[in-house]
Amino acid sequence: MSGTDDLLVEARSLAAELDGAEPPTLLDVRWRLVGPPGRDDYAAGHVPGAVFVDLDTALCGPPGPAGRHPLPDPAALQAALRAAGVREGHPVVVYDGGDGMSAARAWWTLRWAGHRPVRLLSGGFPAWLAAGLSTSDDVSTPEPGDVTVRPAALPVLDASAAARLAAADGVLLDVRAAPRYRGEQEPIDPVAGHVPGAVNVPASEYVTEGRFPAAEVLRDRFAAAGVAAGAPVGAYCGSGVTAAQAVLALHLAGRPDAALYVGSWSNWVADPDRPVATGSGTDA
């Protein structure tokens, strides 16, 4: 596979692969920040053969000062992935409820763990339904996998590295909605505002209902935000979920070196000594 083919897959193409001799391992990672758990959605109907994997408990560590969705313990992640049937070197496809956020975080986590052959179902479960493809409510029980987690295969920012990136070294993208960036509202975290020097590029500007525009469109949007060839770039959001989607978009735009500030704003504001900026600032 080449180009974007190793990042995204369309519903009908996935259906053909699932009917093949060596189908990919399929992970249902539907998730909501608030509301019913994704497991309920899975129980009501899912892509046949998919295994449910919980973002909060399997793909992230416990919430705390490191953030609301910190990095998982590698041993715990390995156990969860093996239980889901993930095999060493075998392709994985992840999907969510259609916004592409939790699927992107699952994609990022698997690649961070050193498992490269992982793609995201473009448009998520709604795209599967829209294609008229069959669903199942059977709980899949895969054979245990043998994947080995090798952390740090993708770059990660901590608070200090994020601050340096925003200050001088490159571009730090804040992909939250503009009112949160400006500090006008903060519905989740205890402090409103943004990392000083960060540039606001809301997720709605580069993804629509879990679908990304063409690579050149993404490159132009990120270039308008100051992302230059060869200069470091990273992304953050509230807790590292939407920002993982930004990292995927940057990969599509030809920036596989893009770093994720996993702890994001929920980690930044855990330390009251860290500076907070408000207003439009470097809003792009």
Q: Which domain holds residue 167?
A: 156-268
In this structure, are residues 147 and 86 in contact, taking their beta carbons and an 8 Å threshold?
yes
Q: How confident is the model at residue 2 (pLDDT cuts 50, 70, 90)?
A: very low
Catalytic residues: 237
Residues 177 and 231 in one domain: yes
Question: In the listed set 113, 130, 147, which residue is the last one of a domain according to the structure?
Answer: 130
Residue 118 lies in a domain: yes
Q: What is the pLDDT of residues 138-180, one digit of tens each?
A: 999 999 999 999 999 999 999 999 999 999 879 999 999 999 9
Q: From CA 236, how far away is CA 17, in angstroms rounded?
A: 34
Residues 123 and 18 in one domain: yes
- To the nearest whole percent, how much of the chain has pLDDT over 70? 97
Q: Which pLDDT value is given to residue 102?
A: 98
Residues 8 and 114 in one domain: yes
Residues 120 and 19 in one domain: yes
Residues 246 and 167 in one domain: yes
Residue 150 lies in a domain: no
Q: Which pLDDT value is given to residue 282?
A: 55
Residues 188 and 75 in one domain: no
Residues 171 and 242 in one domain: yes
Residues 122 and 199 in one domain: no
Q: From CA 247, how far away is CA 259, in angstroms rounded?
A: 7
The whole-chain average pLDDT of the chain stands at: 95
Residues 10 and 68 in one domain: yes
Residue 283 lies in a domain: no
Q: Any idea what the CATH number is for the domain that residue 176 is in?
A: 3.40.250.10
Q: Which pLDDT value is given to residue 36?
A: 82
Residue 171 lies in a domain: yes
Query: How many domains are contained in the chain?
Result: 2
Q: What is the pLDDT of residues 35-80, one digit of tens each?
A: 788 999 999 999 999 999 999 999 999 999 999 999 999 999 999 9
Q: From CA 170, how far away is CA 166, in angstroms rounded?
A: 6
Average pLDDT for 239-266:
98
Both tokens of residue 177?
Answer: 């909605």
Integer angstrom CA distances of residue 275 from 35, 159, 229, 246, 272:
32, 11, 28, 24, 8
Both tokens of residue 180?
Answer: 């949160």
Helices 101-112 and 242-252: crossing angle in degrees, nearest 10, is 70
Average pLDDT for 235-262:
98
Residue 139 lies in a domain: no
Residue 44 lies in a domain: yes
Residues 109 and 160 in one domain: no
Residues 105 and 163 in one domain: no
Residues 165 and 205 in one domain: yes
Residue 91 lies in a domain: yes
Q: What's the chain look like in SS3?
A: CCHHHHCEECHHHHHHHHCCCCCCEEEECCCCCCCCCHHHHHHHCECCCCEECCHHHHHCCCCECCECCCCCCHHHHHHHHHHCCCCCCCCEEEECCCCCHHHHHHHHHHHHCCCCCEEEECCHHHHHHHCCCCCECCCCCCCCCCCCCCCCCCCEECHHHHHHHHHHHCEEEECCCHHHHHCCCCCCCCCCCECCCCEECCHHHCCECCECCCHHHHHHHHHHCCCCCCCCEEEECCCCCHHHHHHHHHHHCCCCCCEEECCHHHHHCCCCCCCCECCCCCCC
Q: From CA 109, how far away is CA 91, in angstroms rounded?
A: 14
Residue 138 lies in a domain: no
Question: How many CA atoms does the CB half-sphere of 96 hold within 13 Å?
Answer: 25
In this structure, are residues 189 and 265 in contact, taking their beta carbons and an 8 Å threshold?
yes
